Structure formats: structure tokens, C-alpha cells
Amino acid sequence: MTDKSTEFHQKMTLNAGGTILDLSTPVVMGILNLTPDSFYDGGRNNTAALAIERAGQMLADGAAILDLGAYSSRPGAADISTGEEILRLLPVLRALVKAYPRAIISVDTFRSEVAQAAIGEGAHIINDISGGSLDPQLFETVARLKVPYVLMHMKGTPQNMVQHAHYHDLFDEIFTCFTERLFQLGELGVTDILIDPGFGFAKTPEQSYRLLSMLEQFKAFGHPVLAGLSRKSMIYKKLGVTAAEALNGTTVLNTIALQKGANILRVHDVKEAAEAIKLVSLTFNV
């Protein structure tokens, strides 16, 4: 967490379907993958009953947002059709909206058609791993729907992004990309935006650690910053463990992200992230 007396004005709220989410104290976004092949929890939540049970536990543990994903974005994951993504997503989304009508729900998709369908069924936020690069209609769709948008940096696609982890100047290229995309979104009237550097997406572990060390610089855009580090290969490969054994490493990196100004932690393990926020907040008296 950074000093509140920054030189620039940073937006600290999101309007999620009429609910104003205060991000002056960081919050947790709980990952709810509805896919059979996600790198850590694939197949665990892909029925409405399983997802409702998992979501309920996340909300009880302190999640402010539930992030539903029906398209696996792990490196090399199989591509699926828009229809298949919608078929996986909507039944669970409808069940969650009915079970937890006050919950704030984000949908992890890069497709405008999926975004349209999800917001129509009660979701509140669109979380786009591609930063608008994989569907030219998505920015206009988000603007028309008037919903918050997570702008993440990635090059290529989940199928080939590993091949795109080459940069002349890592930070400069990502910063320039965000500047251009934020201008496009601003021209369309989109103002509720979260910045996500995209740890592990077209980035080597070394590049991801460099971005983490510079995370506070992304706050210069004036938008809240989201850190998605949970159980990623940048943790478990460096520690010589598996994703299932990467909770401790995740907590360490989440703590660093908080110290560097992250406003949202996107995680599989909500309770531990919420505890990290509480203790870091006490330490920095915010």
C-alpha cells in the first residue's frame, strides 16, 4: 500500500450495477473457474451446485467480487467457441445471481457476445485478459453496457502467448499499450477501469517479477490496480513445487503487491488474501 498523498488523483471506487465498491482499502476478487482444464482448479466448480457452494465460501471468507471464467486462459489451453463459453457460463451465472443477489460478479471473457450475455443475466464487471485485442467490438460493448472493465495486458492468445514474451523495453511497451487503450476507452466514455499488468501472460517469470517490482508505477494512470498472482507458475516453478503447493508463495507476492499499491487481489484462496490485506493495512495504518 502506498502513501495516500500521491501526486496524481487515483480513482478509488467502482460502480458495479449501482453498488459503489470502495477500493481505498484493498479488496479480494475470488476466482471461480467453470472450466474443466484450468491450471489449478479445473473441473472443481463446473456445475451450478459446486459453484454455488464454492462462491458461498468465498463470500463468507471476505470476497468482495466473484470472478467467473468459462474459457481457460492457461498457456496452451484449447480454444473453445463462443457458444461453448456461453453454455458453460450462463447456467452457473443465473444460479449465483439467484443464490447471492447482493454479490458483485465479474465475468472473465474477451468476447463481446459473452460480455453482452453475461451482463444481461446479472453480472456487473467485464474482466478482459486481452485488453481489447481479441475482439474489436468489446470496448464498444462495455461502453454501451456502462459497466466496469478490467484492462489487462497480454500479447497473442492463450494458445501462443508464450511465444510472445519478447520486449524491447518491458515496462515502456506495456505502459504505452495501456496509454493507447485507455485513450480509446475514454473516447467511448468508459471511466470505471481497473489496470492489470497481466502477470504470466506473454511474460516470463523474470519479466513478471520485474513488473511486480514496478507495480506502483501503474497507479500513475489514475485507475485502481488489480494484481493476479495466485498460484501462478512464476511462483511454483521458482520454488520447485506445484500449483497446489503455492499458497505460501502466493501470500508472499500478494503482500508485496499490496505494499506497492494493489487495490484488488485476484485469488483462488480468499481467506488468506483477506488476512494479508488486514495485516498490511494495520502495518501501514490505512
Q: Is 219 a catalytic residue?
A: no
Using alpha carbons, list the distances in angstroms from residue 151 to 59, 97, 126, 185, 218: 24, 24, 9, 10, 12
Q: Judge contact between 183 and 177, C-beta under 8 A.
A: no
Q: Is 232 a catalytic residue?
A: yes
Q: Is 65 helix (H, G, I), strand (E, B) or coil?
A: strand
Q: Judge contact between 55 and 69, C-beta under 8 A.
A: no
Using alpha carbons, list the distances in angstroms from residue 29 to 8, 245, 251, 252: 25, 20, 14, 17
Residue from 111, 181, 203, 232 carrying the catalytic annotation = 232
Distance CA 193, CA 219 (A): 12
Phi, psi of 40 (to 5 degrees): -115, -50
Distance CA 228, CA 192 (A): 19
Measured between its terminal Cα atoms, the distance across the chain in Å is 8
Residue from 74, 155, 260, 266 carrying the catalytic annotation = 266
Distance CA 25, CA 263 (A): 7
Q: Is 108 helix (H, G, I), strand (E, B) or coil?
A: strand
Which pairs count as long-range contacts for 19-24, CB under 8 Å and 24+ apart, including other chains? 19/102, 19/104, 19/124, 21/64, 21/65, 21/104, 23/224, 23/263, 23/264, 24/286
Angle separating helix axes 270-284 and 48-61, nearest 10 degrees? 20
Q: Annotated active-site positions, please?
A: 232, 266
